[in-house]
Structures are given as structure tokens and as C-alpha cells.
Amino acid sequence: MTSHVPVAPDHVVTVDDEGRRTGTFERAAVHTTETPLHLAFSCYVLDDAGRLLLTRRALVKRTWPGVWTNSFCGHPRWTETTEESIVRHGRHELGLEIADLEVAVPGFRYRAVDASGVVENEICPVYTARAAGPVEPNPDEVVEVAWADPQDVARAVAATPWAFSPWMVLQVGALAVATPTGGGATARLAAAFGTATV
């Protein structure tokens, strides 16, 4: 079984409106009712059969606990690229090795407020990847996983957006109109989300 090493000392990288790094903030304290703009990422992972990995956020999460979302999300550290952060988080949250990582929606940004008043405020490029191994969820991060047909996912998001993270709801729409540069996971998701009844 994979050992999930804690990602401490953990922090987020704060940015200005143009995305320039301005400093760091302790991750455990950053999400409040006045969360500063910071860097993040979202990753959508497909298996070789073209199924999309969905995860249900752990019940101990500060924001949107227990909500279904994309494969995984995270925050780059000051000393790493977004791509390095994605590889690290894939291993930490899901015990998962990924391949064929590509940026799908580089300029994605959102702000959302959950029922408790806690704010997410992120510049959050969206990536896609292929699973290169099994999934072994870290219970501190993920309470449940599911592999699903991307068209079914897009239809479910359209029918019951309240059951999914607000960033995923927005990202499914953005991925549906993404312009893939190759024939990888981004192209497959764009085709599936674009043709779904949404």
C-alpha cells in the first residue's frame, strides 16, 4: 500500500490580478471569508478506456467537504512549477502516477463562497492527464472515488450542479470549448463535454 507523506510545511502562493507571485500564506489559514487571490490547479485524469476519475472530497476539508469534484486539485509551492505540483499532489492525494500531462484551460480563474462563508479565490489553470497506475486514495483528502463516462459526468453536472464543486461546474463548461493541441486527454474531454446535453 502506498504511504501518503504529509505535504507540510504547506503554503499557498499569493498573486496579483495579473498572476504575478507576491508572497506566500500558510495553507491552513488562507481560506477565510476574505481569502486572498492565490495560485492553484485542477487536474482531470482519464484512464486508458477514456473514463474520467471523479473524487469526493474528504469530510474534514475546510471548503466543500464531501462534495464530488474533478480528479484532484492543489496549490503549487513557491519553489515548484505547476506541473511539479500536479505530480506531487497526484501521489499524495491518490497514490497515483500520471502521464501525458497537458494544460487545457490555462487562464481559468474563479471565486466562490461555500455555505459557511469561506471563500475560494484562485487563478487555477486546468490540466488533463492519463492515469499511469492504480488509485489508492489518501483518506485525509478523498473519501470516495469513481470512474465515469465523461458525457455522463457533463450531463450530471448540468442536471445537479449543487452536487459538485463550483470550480468543477465552471471547468466542465470551459473544457467543452477548449482547443486541444493534440489527441490526448484534453481532446477526449473537449469532445465528450462538448457533445453532451448540457
**180-194: per-residue pLDDT in tens?**
877 799 999 999 999
**12-31: per-residue pLDDT in tens?**
999 999 999 998 888 888 88
84 annotated binding-site participant: no
89 annotated binding-site participant: no
C-alpha cell read off for 54: 471523479
DSSP 34: T
* CA distance linking residue 95 with residue 89, whole number of Å: 9
120 annotated binding-site participant: yes
Burial classification of residue 143, based on how many CB atoms lie within 10 Å of its CB (0-12 exposed, 13-18 middle, 19 or more buried): middle
Q: What is the pTM of this model?
A: 0.92
Q: Would residue 73 show up in a list of annotated catalytic residues for this protein?
A: yes
Catalytic residue among 18, 34, 73, 141: 73
CATH for the 11-195 domain, from 3.60.20.10, 3.90.79.10, 3.50.50.60, 3.40.50.300: 3.90.79.10
**123-161: per-residue pLDDT in tens?**
999 999 999 999 999 999 999 999 999 999 999 999 999
C-alpha cell read off for 31: 481560506
Catalytic residue among 26, 43, 80, 122: 122
